[in-house]
Structure 1
């Protein structure tokens, strides 16, 4: 009993401290429990150091741990219920399991505000992803998808068909293949391209052409998209200012410096965003609108 009270007091105190120190609200739409073995207490401290106001916890499905040992639905729901002023949670399940719909609906009915991170070995326009989009549209929640060439949600060039069939389902794109395709000349086999960007890639077009398509700037892939061509990045942030959202997706324990891609992304956005209003949209306003998170 003593240990439980001590933990709750620590978490609540950390969350309150975080709210007091933030210069402006920041919603982090991409974090995980038990990420590479990181404890809840370490996650709280990490988010506090970064100055995060609200954090979205993305669970693994019932298998594979999103390839990083991430906690599942119950883990994310438990932390969000324990510290509701700081955390909200999505639900997730392997989309090709017979019980996928039932599992997603169970946690959406229990307070989950979205679905994801969908990071599984399926075609991105498969019946399985259409099922996930069906559920999202029915519940009015977003789906966060990890696109990675030949590994997860393959076939990004066909993903427009999912957006067209589910116009009221908000889809948030993430990861290497999503961010590589800001470039019209992208080589799909290159996960972290360093070349200058020619606008008009698949990702650029999806964000421009579909009101229900959004982008998650988290992880090394999002950071690389900003840093590989900073002149392009400034224009990209302006062009898609209503579609982009900050996320961290980093597994470090420090929350600052070169070991933390989330902190580096924040620094880069603050440096490159050409106007405060654009920065605020990316740091919290877009996520607040799309995910219905109050800050």
Structure 2
């Protein structure tokens, strides 16, 4: 037996709105307050492209920068191949570029290469010419002031793009304490600091560099803090567990730190989960922590959107 059901126009539109919001959270969550994620990867720890897309939309990200790995290599800079794929099975320039071309409104791509490969500069330049707004992430076992790295800094200067570096004691980008000389030598290059050693050194009392994830209270004035204060071309990437820990380990310090460096800090996720929300997603937790600790809405919007929009000219 058939029945005739009458649905009002108002009820139909309301139901449609709920359906669209659940299927397309990107537009539902980020239309009024967009967020730029400066740090994500394709094929991260085996995550599929479909899961990456859903993850970013679930977090409410308006624009994502995909940071590629370098070409697989088996020299000292990749620890004889053990840290290929940025030590996380991430894919390279071609994959990031193709993904961004498929979703141009939501994604863009970086440019990267193993610094001591013969064609490193040529490979990076190829993708800069295609429109990459950043070089990185540079996560290789080389001296931060080596000839090979300085060739990349010179290229960044020529193309007016930032360089994003992963600092990890005795593992990636050696000799953090010597980096101020590079900031002085390349004042026109904007450098972005990221990862364990970068964030551990917000604390003036951090002396044991073997400790990558310190959980003690923070005394301001560490090397990272000073670099952000003293050099106009130094920025900080709040991504990954190290970035999140830099805030949660001492929230009182974090509020002050975010305020003092409100024009120099950038939101990134750098998480490999598929959830995009909740306790299993470090990227969404970082967003929540920024919103919790920012001293004003103005500061929050700088960290989540405005600084990245300006720095990367998005």
Kindly indicate whether residue 203 of structure 2 is the aligned counterpart of residue 195 of structure 1.
Answer: no
Q: Alpha-carbon deviation of 1:185?
A: 1.2
Specify the SS of the correspondent of 1:162: helix
Q: Look up the match of 1:41.
A: 50
Contact 1:31-1:56 within 8 A present in 2 as well: yes
Q: Look up the match of 2:158.
A: 138
Distance 1:221 1:95 in 2: 24
Match of 1:272 among 269, 272, 293: 293
Match of 2:40 among 31, 34, 50: 31
Distance 1:268 1:18 in 2: 20
Q: Alpha-carbon deviation of 1:19?
A: 3.0
Q: Alpha-carbon deviation of 1:15?
A: 10
Residues 176 and 148 (structure 1), Cα distance of their counterparts in 2 relative to 1, 3 Å cut = same
Q: Alpha-carbon deviation of 1:20?
A: 3.7
Contact 2:266-2:304 within 8 A present in 1 as well: yes
For structure 2, which runs of at least 5 residues remain unmatched after alignment? 1-20, 73-83
Kindly indicate whether residue 215 of structure 2 is the aligned counterpart of residue 206 of structure 1.
Answer: no
Distance 1:256 1:24 in 2: 17
Distance 1:115 1:208 in 2: 23
Kindly indicate whether residue 150 of structure 2 is the aligned counterpart of residue 97 of structure 1.
Answer: no
TM-score normalised to structure 1 length: 0.93
Distance 1:127 1:238 in 2: 36
Kindly indicate whether residue 179 of structure 2 is the aligned counterpart of residue 159 of structure 1.
Answer: yes
Q: Alpha-carbon deviation of 1:21?
A: 2.5
Q: Look up the match of 2:66.
A: 57
Distance 2:188 2:101 in 1: 28
Q: Look up the match of 1:6.
A: none
Contact 2:67-2:109 within 8 A present in 1 as well: yes
Aligned-residue RMSD, C-alpha: 1.4
The structure with more radius of gyration: 2
For structure 1, which runs of at least 5 residues remain unmatched after alignment? 1-12
Distance 2:34 2:69 in 1: 27
TM-score normalised to structure 2 length: 0.87
Alignment of 1:254-293 (within 5 A): 254-293=275-314
Contact 2:93-2:112 within 8 A present in 1 as well: yes
